[in-house]
Amino acid sequence: MNLSRAIARLQISGDTNAGFLRWIFASTQFRHYTDLTCVGTAQRVLNMIDLWRFPIPRPPLPEQKAIAAFLDRETGKIDALVEEQRRLIALLKEKRQAVISHAVTKGLDPAAPMKPSGIDWLGDIPAHWEMGPLKRLAVKVQTGGTPASVALAEGNDDELPWFTPGDFTEQLAIATASKAIPKCSAEEGEARMFPAGSVLVVGIGATLGKTCIARVTCSANQQINAIIPATDVCAEWLGYALRAQTEQMRVSSNASTIGIMNQEKTKALLLARPPLMEQKKIVSMINALEERFDALTAEATRAIALLHERRAALISAAVTGKIDVRDTIDDSTEAA
């Protein structure tokens, strides 16, 4: 067997159970020990001499086997519960997107008369909605750029947030960027300035189609198209409507090697637009829905954190003898 120099191969004695030793190395005590003894900054290294010095509690062999079997069984139960919570979070995300997509493409009234949209993937839309290209919904569509001076954002009054795709979050509204440019760069025409309320769409790369709304006056790099909504268009509704078209943007991008949604392709996106008051009602419903989904997701995330804490505490208690598992020894454990 050939091993990397980064892996230590231990040959254990006959009175040591490999499963028990594995749980020792998974314990909080061993992790704390390595945190204290590992050397290096960019790549932490545990020296062999420090590994040998780690004090390992060693109960009788039958008890080691019982501890290993107990932890295999109990952590398996915890891991299954964690996986259930992760599946729940994934299902909540899918459900959230499905409900939002339905609201911005079909409206809130299930009894509303419908008409064909003329687009296969969209199907029927409410009869009173207007179908048309995005350019009819916008005052302007512009692409960002990179001026000569870009630096880490410091929050100064004389700087302008400069958004990149990495600044986009799952939340629709964003207000802070990791980098900034001097306001004079935009005022002098070296960079483009977008007003607060602009809808920002990633036009290239792995996150093509990702959409957010700038809550502040800002700038952006060349990977982002900024849409300044018309007065009869609610920015939040447009943001949600474009999020529902992420897959369509990827399909319609001129993707030979890498997908690109330039200004013209962005302007040509077809959207079904409800009247302004209905747009606002849709946004209010979605915002209330987002709060409920966020609360459920946060609850599942907390449950995962608590289960991880329980798992770590169980391992530490078992391998240090704080809980007695000898009564869990059965015939199969004895034979192991």
Q: pLDDT value at position 269?
A: 92
8 A C-beta contact, residue 75 and residue 314 = yes
Q: Give residue limits of the domains in the chain.
A: 1-129+274-336, 130-271
Alpha-carbon torsion 160, 162, 166, 167, what sign?
positive
Contacts of residue 52, Cβ cutoff 8 Å, sequence gap at least 6: none
Q: pLDDT tens digit string along 60-100?
A: 998 989 999 999 999 999 999 999 999 999 999 999 999 99
The more confident residue out of 334 and 178 is 178
Q: pLDDT value at position 332?
A: 45
Range with lowest mean pLDDT among 25-29, 273-277, 313-317 = 25-29
Alpha-carbon torsion 332, 77, 57, 41, what sign?
positive
Three-class secondary structure of residue 264 per DSSP: helix
Q: pLDDT value at position 330?
A: 58
Assign 262 a pLDDT band (cuts: 50, 70, 90).
confident
8 A C-beta contact, residue 33 and residue 54 = yes
The more confident residue out of 136 and 47 is 136
Q: pLDDT tens digit string along 99-127?
A: 999 999 999 999 999 999 998 889 999 99
Q: pLDDT value at position 329?
A: 59
Strands 173-174 and 159-163: unpaired
Mean pLDDT of the region 312-332? 80
Q: pLDDT value at position 328?
A: 66
Beta bridge partners of 228: 140
Q: pLDDT tens digit string along 182-238?
A: 988 888 888 899 999 999 999 988 889 999 999 999 999 999 999 999 999 999 999
In this predicted structure, the answer to whether residue 335 has a pLDDT above a threshold of 60 is no
Percent of the chain with pLDDT over 90: 59
Q: pLDDT value at position 16?
A: 81
In this predicted structure, the answer to whether residue 242 has a pLDDT above a threshold of 50 is yes
Q: pLDDT value at position 132?
A: 93
Mean pLDDT of the region 267-279? 95
8 A C-beta contact, residue 99 and residue 289 = yes
Domain 130-271 architecture: Alpha-Beta Complex (3.90)
In this predicted structure, the answer to whether residue 276 has a pLDDT above a threshold of 60 is yes
As a whole number, the mean pLDDT across the chain is 88
pTM exceeds 0.95: no
Range from 13-22, 131-140, 239-248, 327-336 that averages highest in pLDDT? 131-140
CATH topology for the 1-129+274-336 domain? Helix Hairpins (1.10.287)
Percent of the chain with pLDDT over 70: 90
